[in-house]
Amino acid sequence: MKFAVVVFPGSNCDRDMYHAVKEGLNEEADLVWYLDADLSSYDAILLPGGFSYGDYLRSGSIASTSPIVQQIKKAAADKKPVLGVCNGFQILLESGLLPGAMLANRDLKFMCHQEELRVENNKTMFTSEYQKDGLIHLPIAHGEGNYYCDDATYQQLKDNEQIVFTYTNNPNGSTGDIAGIVNETGNVLGMMPHPERAVESLLGNADGLRLFQSILTYWRNNHAIHA
Amino acid sequence: MRKVKVYITLKEGVLDPQGKAVKNSLNTLDFGSVNEVRVGKYMEVMMEESENLEAQVEEMCDKLLANPVIEDYSYEIEEVIA
């Protein structure tokens, strides 16, 4: 399976994402520069964390106007797995691939520590290797991770089981304790916590690896057989 | 040439922790009459004159300058005499 890690100016978790796929999952990955990338040959698209364009205007807003977003939208429409972590999540929100928006953390602090998450939905292509309602730990590192959506959107997210991860101890003020959501078709996941920073038990935590393993399992079940 | 003054504000009901911190500081400075502060953004966009200037400005705001999920915008257009 071949993963593309899209690198924007200001991305800084791209190497971790690459490492997670390459060494954690033992699958193929390329770091692709946002200007000259051709995403058509990849099986999954990963948008890493960081501070694309220095978070100017709003986090992720400038990156969301770059031409590669059209390719990301095409990959999403083709039902390929698209994962946005942290700034990647913000880019997915700003480009309209996921509903809602990010606000500054409730207490205005940049937060960088490990959080406990509940797996609300393990029937997605990103979470099949987790237990439903299972508790996992992943690092967070953000200043604008306070997920916001209006009541109608929140109800929709709940009804469609689009809420994938919630915080057990909401650190940033997110609506409904939301840490990660998928789109309606379930193939675009945005999350603030960093699974790519938790892929090796030698370094203390491998809870994030199962997310990548889930993507691989999905792909093997749905594509490799027919290839 | 036109100067477009764009004002971006958080929608009513959207929490503004920054505004709250500013409000608390003003209260600390003995401005006890301050009940609420909302922090927004102001931009000046210099543009060529055109017939559909207003439509262009609104499209720019919808597509990039404001995020309609959390923000409202308003604007004024001024003539700039070179």
Q: What is the CATH number of the domain that holds B31?
A: 3.30.1280.10
Strands (E), chain B: 2-10, 41-47, 71-79
Q: Closest Cα partner for A49 from A142, A170, A135, A155?
A: A142
Chain B residue with Cα closest to A100: B69
> Mean pLDDT over residues B33-43, rounded?
96
End-to-end CA gap in chain B:
8
Of B14, B21, B64, the CB nearest to A103: B14
Q: For chain B, what is the radius of gyration of the CA atoms?
A: 16
Domain with A122 in it: 2-226
How many separate domains does chain A show?
1
Q: Clarify whether A142 is annotated catalytic.
A: no
Burial group, residue B33, by CB count within 10 angstroms (0-12, 13-18, 19+): exposed
What confidence score (pLDDT) does residue A36 get? 86
> Mean pLDDT over residues B3-32, rounded?
95
Domain with B57 in it: 2-79
How many separate domains does chain B show?
1
Q: Which residues of B touch A99 (CB under 8 A)?
A: 69
End-to-end CA gap in chain A:
12
Strands A2-7 and A28-33: parallel
Judge: B67–A101 Cβ closer than 8 Å, yes or no.
Answer: yes
Judged against a pLDDT cut of 90, whether residue A127 lies above it is answered with yes
Q: Clarify whether A115 is annotated catalytic.
A: no
Task: List the catalytic residue out of A13, A27, A86, A149.
Answer: A86
Distance from CA of A94 to the nearest CA of B (A): 8
What confidence score (pLDDT) does residue A225 get? 60
Q: Clarify whether A112 is annotated catalytic.
A: no
Distance from CA of B16 to the nearest CA of A (A): 8
Say yes or no: A143 contacts chain B, CB-CB below 8 A: no
> Mean pLDDT over residues A105-124, rounded?
96
* Residue A224: both structure tokens together: 């490799």
Q: Which residues of B touch A106 (CB under 8 A)?
A: 15, 17
Judge: B17–A94 Cβ closer than 8 Å, yes or no.
Answer: no
Say yes or no: A100 contacts chain B, CB-CB below 8 A: yes
Contact of A44 with A219, CB cutoff 8 Å: yes
Contact of B59 with B19, CB cutoff 8 Å: no
Judge: B65–A57 Cβ closer than 8 Å, yes or no.
Answer: yes
| Choice between A176 and A37, residue whose per-residue pLDDT is larger | A176
> Mean pLDDT over residues B41-70, rounded?
96
Q: What is the ipTM of this complex?
A: 0.86
User: Model confidence at A226, in pLDDT bands (50, 70, 90)?
Assistant: low
Say yes or no: A61 contacts chain B, CB-CB below 8 A: yes
Q: Identify any residues that bridge with A139 across adjacent strands, giving them in sequence order.
A: A114
Phi and psi at A111, nearest 5°, equal -110, 135
Q: Closest Cα partner for A223 from A48, A27, A38?
A: A27
CATH number of the domain encompassing residue A99: 3.40.50.880
Contacts A–B by Cβ distance under 8 A: 36
pTM: 0.94
Distance from CA of B77 to the nearest CA of A (A): 21
Q: Which residues of A touch B67 (CB under 8 A)?
A: 58, 61, 94, 101
The three-state DSSP-derived secondary structure of chain A is: CEEEEEECCCECCHHHHHHHHHHHHCCEEEEEECCCCCHHHCCEEEECCECHHHHCCCCCCCHHHCCHHHHHHHHHHCCCCEEEECHHHHHHHHCCCCCCEEECCCCCCCEEEEEEEEECCCCCCCCCCCCCCCEEEEEEEECCCEEECCHHHHHHHHHCCCEEEEECCCCCCCHHHEEEEECCCCCEEEECCCHHHCCEHHHCECCCHHHHHHHHHHHHHHCHHHC
Dihedral of the alpha carbons of B16, B22, B28, B31, in degrees to the nearest 10: -100
Judge: A148–B17 Cβ closer than 8 Å, yes or no.
Answer: no
pLDDT digits (tens, 9 = 90+) for A174-216: 999 999 999 999 999 999 999 999 999 988 999 999 999 999 9
